[in-house]
Structure 1
Amino acid sequence: MWWLLSGAIVVEVAATLALRSSEGGRKKLLLIPVVLGYLIAFALLSATLSAGLAVGVAYGVWAACGVALTAVAGRMLFKEPLTWTMAAGIAVIIGGVLLIEVGSTAH
């Protein structure tokens, strides 16, 4: 199930980057990978949940990894800011997700 979630995260991040590249929809051809990417990402997330991963854990990992990967990719591809404060925020999000994961297995 973790490989399904990993796939969902990678595809969602790629779709988000394509959305950024589309320049607000002005580059219409790039909207195709956006729509397909989000559809595939949600299908993989749904399969992850069907495989038995708790929704809180799945969504937490999805969100944390998505935020971190998108911020780093935005910096690399689009020269967007990635300050130490932003990096600290990403670390706090990831720490929170790890706590949710640990808490979900402690029952």
Structure 2
Amino acid sequence: MAWVYLVLAGVLEVVWAVGLKYSEGFSKLWPSVITLVATVASFWLLALALKHLPLGTGYAIWVGIGAVGTAVLGMLIFKEPATVARLMCIGLIVAGIIGLKLTSGADAA
């Protein structure tokens, strides 16, 4: 269950990161509310996951999911450049996430 919490925490990290853009410096009410709720929920789920996962692995995977998801949505929603170099770097982050998962030694499912 710890891995499920961690993935959900990572997805919510993407939600709050994108929400920051839509909130326009917390000047728009509902995007700001969604951003704050997603932030709290993301940290809470990360905390639950870290009860059973190694700190370094859990935190790095959480950040990786957030970074990859935010970068991809930036390209899709905000038309940020999707250069070959940028996509390769995102691929390296994904490879790192997979590598950390495979070598974590945590038997939490």
- TM-score bin, normalised by smaller chain: 0.7 to 0.9
Aligned-pair identity in percent equals: 32
| Cα RMSD, aligned residues only | 1.8
Choose between structure 1 and 2 for higher RCO, CA contacts under 8 A separated by at least 6 residues.
Answer: 2
1:38-77 paired onto structure 2 within 5 Å: 38-50=39-51, 52-77=52-77
> 2:84: which partner in 1?
84
* Aligned mates of 1:8, 1:25 — CA distance in 2: 22
- Per the alignment, residue 23 of structure 2 pairs with 22
**Residues 1:97 and 1:6: Cα distance change in structure 2 (over 3 Å):** closer
Instruction: Flag the structure with higher helix content.
Output: 1
Amino acid at match of 2:39: Y
Q: Is the 8 A contact 2:20 2:26 kept in 1?
A: yes
C-alpha deviation, 1:90, in angstroms: 1.3
Preserved CA contact (<8 Å) 1:71 1:82 = no
Unaligned runs of 5+ in 1: none
Judge which range, 9-18 or 38-47, deviates more.
9-18
Normalised to the residue count of structure 2, the TM-score between the two structures is: 0.83
Provide the TM-score with structure 1 as the length reference. 0.85
CA–CA distance in structure 1, aligned partners of residues 28 and 81 of structure 2: 23
Aligned residues: 105
